[in-house]
Amino acid sequence: MATTQNEGKKRRTATTPAKRGATAERQDHQQLDPQKLLDFYRKMVEIRLFEDAAQKGFRTGKIGGYLHVYSGQEAVATGFLDAYEPGDRIITAYRDHAHALLLGSTPNEVMAELYGKGTGLVKGKGGSMHLFDVKNGFWGGYGIVGGHIPLGVGMAYSLRYLKTDGIVQLYLGDGAIHNGAFHEAANLAGLWGRDGLNPTLFILENNQYGMGTSVERATAQTDLGAKFDSYGIEHEKVDGMDLDAVLEVAHRAAKRVRESGKPYAVEALTYRLVPHGAADFLEKYRTKEEVREWKQRDPIALVEHELLESGEISEEQISQIRDENKKLIDEAVKFAEESPEPDLSELKTDVYATAV
């Protein structure tokens, strides 16, 4: 059925914070230990400044390939990765810098990777979309939308097959959920989960756009969590801009998946406060007002507000944290810029499991 232009326009608008009743008031939940909250704040600021520097590096031609940053979504990975335990496996798509940094890859090695340098996290061979750090539980970093989902579900099966109690945190976007790979993998996750053989925690990062297409324009079933119902996978939603709320669900959901061996899904409603990728300048698919409105719920500003309100921290300490992180990221950029290109002898190493 054809839609009129007006109908099309109407459907463009994404969910706004006001529509969700989530503007000024935050959900009622337990207050965190202020020291812990401060640590999260410090890390989230580091991630934001890292992403700012990465965008600058791309726009000034120092970073090649392509680049997608995580700004605005920090509370999601920060909250869920707090539930990470050694032996777990983390897998995501291409918006992956924050996940690597949270799991323990250093800003130096991640930045050098974006610069394609030999000192990079994967020796300059992966770039922004293919970060990998197995010692820290990070299993990538994938550029093909939906392509990592069957891999994540398969890894979850292998963890139980090998009789470990690890789980897989599988991050996917609102665009990726329409991909056939999701539906095949979710079907198997639900099926294997009946026997306790699929500890996959699906983390659906619904930032409301897949590149330039809003959820409303991509699917007739806009309640994305409902897609998991088809496969017998239970699910819930969380406000992905609210770190405290994410932390609460993350720990509860990870425990549930670990103990049951059954998959579970959490849809985190979030928003990227930046363009889709480094070449998305015009952002014709959304209005400036909408972005402005969501900026009021910037997850870092919300944590900052909470810290200041609790009296745990002063404005002065806030700027000190920013300065310290700025220094850390400036050093990472310098390290990346000054690092050597990968050596020519590395051309064929680490490409195939058995070298050719």
Return the structure tokens found at 141.
């970093």
Residue 273 binding partner per list ligand TPP, Mg ion, none, with a CB distance cut-off of 5 to 8 Å that depends on partner kind: none
Neighbours of 277 (CB within 10 A): 18
Q: What is the nearest approach in angstroms of Mg ion to the Cβ of residue 340?
A: 36
Query: H-helix or E-strand containing 247?
Result: helix 243-260
Q: What residues pair up with 239 in beta bridges, in sequence order? A: 269
Q: How far is the CB of 12 from ligand TPP (least distance, A)?
A: 16
- Buried/exposed 311-342: b ≥16 CB within 10 Å, e otherwise: eebeeeeeeebbeebbebbeebbebbeebeeb
Q: Closest approach of Cβ 174 to Mg ion, in Å?
A: 4
DSSP state of 30: P
209 lines the binding site for ligand TPP (CB under 6 A): yes
* Residue 210 sits in the site that holds ligand TPP (CB under 6 A): yes
Instruction: Locate 108 and state its tokens.
Output: 């130096």
Written as six digits, the tokens of 185 are 């993998």
Residue 143 interacts with, from ligand TPP, Mg ion, none (CB under 5-8 Å by kind)? ligand TPP
Q: Would you count residue 15 as binding Mg ion (CB under 5 A)?
A: no
Closest distance between Mg ion and the C-beta of residue 205, in Å?
A: 7
Q: 95, 293, 290: which is closest to 210 by C-alpha?
A: 95
Buried b (16+ CB within 10 A) or exposed e, 144-172: ebbebbbbbbbbbbebbeeeeebbbbbbb
Alpha-carbon dihedral 12, 249, 85, 179, rounded to 10 degrees:
-30
The three-class DSSP label of residue 125 is coil
Q: How far apart are CA 149 and CA 110, in angstroms?
A: 23
Cβ proximity to ligand TPP, 257 vs 274, nearer residue: 274
| Contact range with ligand TPP by CB under 6 A, out of 27-35, 118-126, 153-161, 206-214 | 206-214
**193: three-class secondary structure by DSSP:** helix
- Nearest approach in angstroms of CB 7 to ligand TPP is 23
**Polymer length of the chain:** 356
Please, which residue, 51 or 174, has the CB nearer to ligand TPP? 174
Is residue 145 close enough to count as binding ligand TPP by CB under 6 A?
yes
Contact segment (CB under 5 A) with Mg ion among 20-28, 66-74, 210-218, 308-316 equals 210-218
Among 46, 74, 113, 174, binds Mg ion (CB under 5 A): 174
CB of 102 to ligand TPP, least distance (A): 16
Of the candidate residues 122, 211, 308, 318, the single one contacting ligand TPP (CB under 6 A): 211
Q: Tell me which residue has tokens 């789980």.
A: 167
| Partner interacting with residue 176 (select from ligand TPP, Mg ion, none; CB below 5-8 Å by kind) | ligand TPP
Distance (Å, rounded) from C-alpha 20 to C-alpha 26? 12
Whole-angstrom distance, CA of residue 173 vs CA of residue 207: 7
- The C-alpha torsion from 17 through 23 and 25 to 29, rounded to 10°, is 30
**Quick one: which of 125, 235, 276, 297 contacts ligand TPP (CB under 6 A)?**
276
For residue 58, the minimal CB distance to ligand TPP (Å) is 16
- As measured in angstroms, the least distance from the Cβ of 207 to ligand TPP is 5
User: Is residue 173 within the footprint of Mg ion (CB under 5 A)?
Assistant: yes
Bridge-based pairing of strands 209-210 and 213-214 is antiparallel
Indicate which single residue of 100, 102, 176, 268 sits in contact with ligand TPP (rule: CB under 6 A).
176
Work out whether 143 is an interface residue with ligand TPP (CB under 6 A): yes
Query: How many Cα atoms occupy the beta-carbon half-sphere of 50 within 13 Å?
Result: 33
Q: Which does 276 bind (CB under 5 to 8 A by kind): ligand TPP, Mg ion, none?
A: ligand TPP
Question: 124: which DSSP letter?
Answer: T
The two structure tokens encoding residue 168? 């897989």
Interface with Mg ion, residue 275, by CB under 5 A: no
Contact map string, positions 289 to 328, toward ligand TPP, x by CB under 6 A:
----------------------------------------
Binding stretches for Mg ion (CB under 5 A):
173-175, 207, 210
Binding stretches for ligand TPP (CB under 6 A):
95, 143-145, 173-176, 207, 209-211, 276
